[in-house]
Amino acid sequence: MNENAVYVKTEAGEEAVSKRTIVQRNLRSILIMIDGRTPVGNLAQQFGDPLIVEGLVGELEHRGLVRRIDAPTQGEEADRAELSSMLVDIEDLVSQPITPVSDDIRRAHEKASAKESPVLDEFAMALPELAAPAPANAPAPAAALSAADDVRGAIRRAMMSASPDAAASSAERSGGGLQRLFDLFAGRVGDRKGPPGSLGKKIVLSAAALLVLLVGLFFLYPYQRHLPHFESLATELLGQPVRIASVSPSLFPEPSIALEGVTVGGPGQLEIGAVKLLPRVSTLLSERTVLRDVRIERAALNLSFLPALSRRQDINWASRWVTVEHVSMVDASIVLLDGAIGALGGDLALDENGVLTRLSLASADGGLKLQGNNAGGVWSVSMTALGWQTPGKPSLLFDVLEAQGTLNSRRLQFDKLDVKLYDGYATGSVALDFADVARFEGQLQTSRLSLGGLLKVFAPTLLLTGDLSLSLSLTGEGRNYEELQKNLRGTGTMGVQRGQIERVDLVQAVRIPRPGGVRGGSTRFDRLDANAVVDASGVSLSQVVMESGLVGANGTLRLADDTLRGRLDVTLQGSATTVRAPVSIEGPYADPVVKLLR
């Protein structure tokens, strides 16, 4: 086989590709690769085995699915001869003069053939005005001429007596086929004028009619018939099962085709309200359609599904039929377990094989930004925030947040976490393993957090101030966000410097005890250290040590259900004596009671 031979698909070949009637993989691959431009030798280099390619191309040619471009088809010579004959006929037709006189002669002859035509009588009465003087040597007309012969003779004389200006004008307009065609389009035939109007007006009216037709076709076309094709093409392009509820036209933000109710993968992995396709019009009838923008609206993407969605495929045949230049997202949500960060917008990028390579999302005010880059199936992810408040309750306000980490099919991990909030700082690392039961773990260290501001979020009625420092190890597991939050547990140490607790007066409870206990007052301290256990039910402090000049205390405290409970051994140092006494603290945050125990 000639290596320079070029083959093109026949109509049967195009139908075989679109309907997938060929199931043999190598034969279908060669059929798809034949594009009317690539020689057989280049196809052999791409495929890897020239002998196999030669056999496959021969098989396709035998089936009538492809043909050589330089090989004439049957009947091609006859078609060329017929085309030449048609061109000659067209030239003869254009070269014939278009005059009103020839039309008048034909109509006059037809009317003259009719018996007792009143129109003939009127026409005959007008003939003397058109008649020209007969030549001197012309014989006298015979009286036996019929009425029809008189009419024809009068018409001939009228033609001979036509004015020179009219003849010149007719000859000028008949001076070329292109000029006559222009006269026909402009409404001029011979000496007669067409309907009033200019060429520009006709063009405008034609364009308006065409626009109305296109708009009607855009809205009335049955797009739903192509739904299975859209589903199969999207499934092959993304490498995940795609289901589409409906296909319809859309005008906002610009004319497009809308795929509504789109689900990618399994339930809850990627659900999209609408996908709007904006193609390049010039490529709609070409072999490969180019989508200049794919607009994704109201999408909910489960973060654990992102690695599977971006898994690289060896060959993606759908990329031969469609190319996506840009993908934008509007009102998107990132879902983790069953919690979500919503109202995000941005864009993402696909490579030539349809693999997701980049993701960039941000909140509407720009306070939160999420970035991701795919490298070999492992995503490098980053998260930055300025003045961002977390969704849900309790809600924390982050002045600055910077997090960097990785994401794969089994684990999301932020190795570096830096946060500025409530006048202090927090650093650490966190990780979440994806499984039937998700597992969370992390390390967190804080310094100089405003304890008063933090308690306004978690316990607004507990009036405790100071600079908080924490060092906690966090663990938890659960099947969903609520269960994980319920099982989350942190253990470590805490310290509060330069603090004060309102409505708890330890000195008054020891010096002037009352039978019902002491309410109100306050206790200042220089520092308070304790071992801390934090869980969903509250905070437990053990080995509490509080120091404030001549006053000290140690014991245990429990903060849960808006109630403060605990037991402290209070020490008061005087100039001569030292007093030690145990006290109990119990009651709601807003009104605890300190009672001396004896």
Res 170: pLDDT: 44
Q: In this structure, what DSSP letter does residue 194 have? A: -
Using CA of residue 469, residue 475, residue 478, residue 483, what is the dihedral sign?
A: negative
What DSSP letter does each residue of 254-291 carry, written as one string?
SSEEEEEEEEESSTTTEEEEEEEEEE-GGGTTSSSEEE
510: nearest Cα among 468, 553, 448, 449: 553
What angle in degrees, to the nearest 10, is found between the helix axes of 50-62 and 40-47? Answer: 120
CB 499 within 8 A of CB 524: yes
- pLDDT less than 50: residues of the chain: 75-77, 81, 83-85, 87-102, 105, 108-109, 112-148, 151, 155, 158-175, 177-178, 181-182, 184-187, 189-194, 196
CB 430 within 8 A of CB 417: yes
326, with CB counted inside 10 A (0-12, 13-18, 19+), is: middle
Global model pTM greater than 0.85: no
- Beta strand pairing call for 489-502 and 464-478: antiparallel
CB 544 within 8 A of CB 528: yes
434: nearest Cα among 243, 247, 303: 303
Res 172: pLDDT: 45
Res 402: pLDDT: 95
Res 502: pLDDT: 93
